[in-house]
Structure 1
Amino acid sequence: MKAVCATDLSAASEATIESETCLECLGRIGIDEMHLVTVIPSNVHAGMPGMDFEGRRRRALERYRSVIEDAGFEVETHVVRGTPHRRITGIAETIGASLTVVGSRGKSPLENRVIGSTARNLARTTVTPLLVNRIERESDDPDVVRQHLFQRMLHATDFSENAEHAFDSFSYLRHATQEATLVHVETPKDPGPTDDDEPEQRLSELAAQLEEWGIETRVDVRQGDPADEILSAETEFEPTTTLVGSRGHSRLRRLLLGSVSEDIVARATGNVMLVPPRRTA
């Protein structure tokens, strides 16, 4: 499996790349080839006096390459120009990536680019599963908030097709997952369940699949605002990553996600793995 790791060369972006535990977790789920991508923004010109942006970025990526190769991965590097989230998404599509990884905080010392905004735009447009890796917010030497990326998963589901597609990610995440919490939030707008359609029963059926893989699993049905309740569950259970499906509305225009997915990406304290809908031919 291939993964794209997007970096703005900030200290925060380096945290994932330099974390042996994070790299081990990616290896456990089947990632064996990493593509390091950094984007020179369109408004930064090569001829600016005293600024060899491309050369500096290539030298930085070569340092990262050696770290990741030492961890056992094949590595390719890409220094490109353009709009960061569009170029990152384009490279992920071109190479057939199974995952895109981006840090959720950090300001680049080179061009004052904020990786947080890139993460937000990737969440709105990604066509591959996106891991938003949460980095310490206020630190001169930041570290990842949760090193064991997939050890304790919280999966929020509304039983939609998109949520089922996100749940299917456990087919490979299970190799790094020890515990899982399955959460469903009922809202006043939900239709009343039928006798054969109780949320607890449906969650229990999903839990049984995970337990067959040796994953200790709990189920949790809540009432209220979905984003607030999912974030409350994150606070209570402290997962290393929250797994959710997105609702993409257009492949052509940059439209918002469903508000629940966007809220979780923006407000979660830990990592978030966002799985876009299945692509149609």
Structure 2
Amino acid sequence: MRAVFATDLSDAIETALESRICLECLGRYGITEVHLLNVTSPNVTTGMPGSDVGRQTRRGLERQADLLREEGFDVETHVVRGTPHRRINGLAEQVGADLIIVGSRGKSPLRERFIGGTARDVARTAVRPLLVQRIVETEDEHEIANEHLFQRVLYATDFSENAERAFEQFRYLQEATQEATLLHVTPPERRSEPDVVEDAEARLAELADRLEGMGIETRTVVREGEAVEEILAAEAEFDPTSILMGSRGRSRIRRLLLGSTSEKVTARASCNVLLVPPRQFG
């Protein structure tokens, strides 16, 4: 399996690549080949006489590539110019990537996390599964929020086709996931409908049986309320290392928009987020 790993050559990304635990988790997910990509601004000139930008970029990229090679990954490096999210998604399609990885830096003292511009734009347009890896900034260093990327997964589902597609990720996660929480949030206006909660509980139980068969310890939770708030409340209660959910497109266009629930959860969650886009339409 292939991954496109976006790097801006910052200390934050270096911290992620230096984490043996993170890289082992990617290996258990099934990743064996990594395309390490740096996107430079179209305004940055690397070829002028006396310019050292190109050499510095290549040197930094090779240093990070060596960290991946030391953990047994096959690595190819890419330096391109352009708009980051377009180049990241373009390379992912070109090489047939199974996963895109981008870092998102949040400031730990703040109650509400935030997603960086590049990560947000990739999430809104990705046609491949996307791992938004949370990297926490402290005063003088960076830390990985959850090094065991997929050890505990919170799967949020509305039982839509795209949510079912996200659930298929457990085929790859089963070697890396020990515990899963399956969550459905019922809008308050539907709680009065006959059998709504019982139906949701039964559907979650069926999914739980499938995961238990994979050796993953599973719990099911049905909550009432606003989806984003309840997903974040479940994150606080169950302490997952990643949230898994689908990002629903709003039209059959090539560039798919991120659903508002997915976007808000990705922006505000403290842990990693694994987003699965809708199937591509021909």
Instruction: Tell me the TM-score normalized by structure 1.
Output: 0.92
Q: Establish whether residue 22 from structure 1 lines up as the match of residue 10 from structure 2.
A: no
Cα deviations across residues 13-45 of structure 1 (Å, max 9, x unaligned)?
112211100000000111000010010012323
The aligned counterpart of 2:109 is: none
- Give the match for residue 146 of structure 1: 146
- CA distance 1:235–1:49, change in 2 (3 Å): farther
Distance (Å, rounded) in 1 between the aligned partners of 2:42 and 2:168:
37
| Whole-angstrom CA distance in 2 between matches of 1:9 and 1:168 | 32
CA distance in 1 between counterparts of 2:87 and 2:205 reads 41
Q: What is the CA-CA distance between 1:55 and the residue it aligns to?
A: 2.0
Would the aligned equivalents of 1:40 and 1:53 in 2 still touch at CA under 8 Å? no
Question: Match of 1:110?
Answer: none
Q: Tell me the amino acid that sits aligned with residue 148 of structure 2.
A: H
Question: Does the 8 Å contact 1:187/1:225 carry over to 2?
Answer: yes
When structure 1 is superposed on structure 2, of 31-40 and 185-194 the one drifting more is 185-194
CA contact (8 A) 2:126 2:255 kept: no
The Cα offsets for residues 89-143 of structure 1, whole Å up to 9 and x where unpaired, read as 000000000000110018xxxxxxx982100100100011000000012342212
Alpha-carbon offset, residue 159 of structure 1? 0.2
Check conservation: 2:254, 2:280, Cα contact below 8 A: no
* CA positional deviation for 1:250: 4.5
Tell me which residue corresponds to 2:97: 97
Q: Which residue of 2 aligns with 1:130?
A: 130
Once residues 68 and 12 of structure 1 are traced to their aligned partners in structure 2, the CA distance between those partners, rounded to angstroms, is: 15
Q: One-letter code of the match for 1:17? A: L
Find the aligned partners of 1:6 and 1:75 in 2 and give their Cα distance.
Answer: 13
What residue in structure 1 maps to residue 281 of structure 2?
Answer: 280
Offset, 1:255: 6.2
Given that residues 146 and 241 in structure 2 are in contact (C-alpha distance below 8 angstroms), is that contact kept between their aligned partners in structure 1?
Answer: yes
Q: Say whether residues 1:263 and 2:239 are aligned partners.
A: no
Q: Distance in 2 between matches of 1:252 and 1:22?
A: 34
Segment of structure 1 superposing worse, 245-254 or 270-279 = 245-254
The CA deviation string for residues 20-78 of structure 1, in whole angstroms up to 9 with x for no partner, is 00000000111000010010012323367965332211111111111111101100000
Question: Which residue in the other structure is 1:247 paired with?
Answer: 248
Residue identity matched to 2:97: A
Across the aligned residues of Structure 1 and Structure 2, the Cα RMSD in angstroms comes to 2.2
Given that 2:11 and 2:142 are in contact with CA atoms closer than 8 Å, whether structure 1 keeps it comes out as: yes
Aligned residue in 2 for 1:81: 81
Q: Secondary structure at the match of 2:183?
A: strand
Partners of 1:193 and 1:164 in 2: how far apart? 24
| TM-aligned CA deviation for residue 280 of structure 1 | 2.2
Once the 2 structures are TM-superposed, how far is the Cα of residue 165 of structure 1 from its aligned partner?
0.2
Deviation of 1:275 (Å): 0.4
Identity of aligned residues (%): 59
Is 1:204 aligned to 2:205, yes or no? yes
The equivalent residue for 2:231 is 230
* Alpha-carbon contact 2:158-2:185 (below 8 Å) kept: yes
Other structure's SS at 2:121 match:
helix
